[in-house]
Amino acid sequence: MKYMMSNTLNPNKWLLFPKPNPGASLRLFCFHYAGGSAQAFHAWSADLPPTVEIGMIQLPGRGQRLAEPKMTHLLPLSRIIAQALQQYIDKPFAFFGHSLGGLLCFEVTRSLRRENHLEPVHIFISATHAPHRRNRDESLSTMPKTALVKKLRELNGTPPEVLRNDELLDLLLPTIRADFELCETYEYHPEAPLDCPLTIYGGIEDHEVERERLAAWSEMTTGPSIIRMFPGGHFYISTSESIFLQTFARDLLRLCSR
């Protein structure tokens, strides 16, 4: 597999590197969930192998990009991110995406394949239905504020202090709604399966993601796939963070040793 050359590791506005490591043998790009930010992965470097450099995708509408226009259509967004990654795919790289991030990294992969004839060496998909098996029954982006806050509380991914702060909520809810709209307006277009292996992660008590539709990600690749389930619900990556990161670190070590 041929990799594109890079002249710099300086992050652009789409990417943050919490612990730059130019000598790493693998670059891991992490895609955050709806309503989240790159900060969700900031502490991971301490628990993952030192041979792995983490690059965190930062979408508009959060952090230093708070004032930027939000995007509500996933396919154009995936093409923009694929372009932003161009200078960072000079070595073997992998993707991790949780919830919305899983869907987004899948489409970024397909964009890179179309434009650069290049795929990650591995994709780690977490807590989201396979793209061809998605459920469109519930529209979160248009929920009234009270109902949306109740749903966010059930998902257990937003800090309780944020949900209790009306002023902060009014600042963050437009971004959260835009992120949910990314999922709700997404349309899957069939293409040839990917070649890269997939690891599929999920929470055993996740009532938002059906096990069968999660496992259906295996149909998106001709390569090997494996599913690993963890204690917890949709945000098991936080509530079972220790066991999850231990497992994730072992999976990444196996990649780095090949």
Q: What is the pLDDT of residues 74-95, one digit of tens each?
A: 999 999 999 999 999 999 999 9
Q: Are 59 and 179 in contact (CB under 8 A)?
A: yes
Q: Which two tokens stand for residue 141?
A: 């982006």
Quickly state the pLDDT bin for 11 (edges 50, 70, 90). very low
Q: Are 240 and 232 in contact (CB under 8 A)?
A: yes
Q: Could you tell me where the DSSP H helices lie in the chain?
A: 74-84, 100-116, 145-155, 160-163, 166-184, 211-215, 236-239, 241-256
pLDDT at 224 over 90: yes
Note the pTM of the prediction, 2 decimals. 0.93
User: Which of the residues are catalytic?
Assistant: 99
Place of tokens 């161009």: 86
pLDDT of residue 176: 93
Between CA 17 and CA 231 the distance in angstroms is 29
Q: Are 256 and 51 in contact (CB under 8 A)?
A: yes
pLDDT at 8 over 60: no
Better-predicted residue by pLDDT, 84 or 258: 84
Q: Which two tokens stand for residue 169?
A: 């909520």
pLDDT of residue 157: 86
pLDDT of residue 22: 87
% of the chain exceeding 90 in pLDDT: 81
Instruction: Domain ranges for the chain, please list them.
Output: 15-256
Could you say which architecture CATH assigns to the domain 15-256? Answer: 3-Layer(aba) Sandwich (3.40)
Those residues with Cβ within 8 angstroms of residue 224's Cβ, 6 or more apart along the chain or in another chain: 197, 198
pLDDT of residue 111: 97
pLDDT at 1 over 50: no
Helix (H, G, I), strand (E, B) or coil at 58: coil
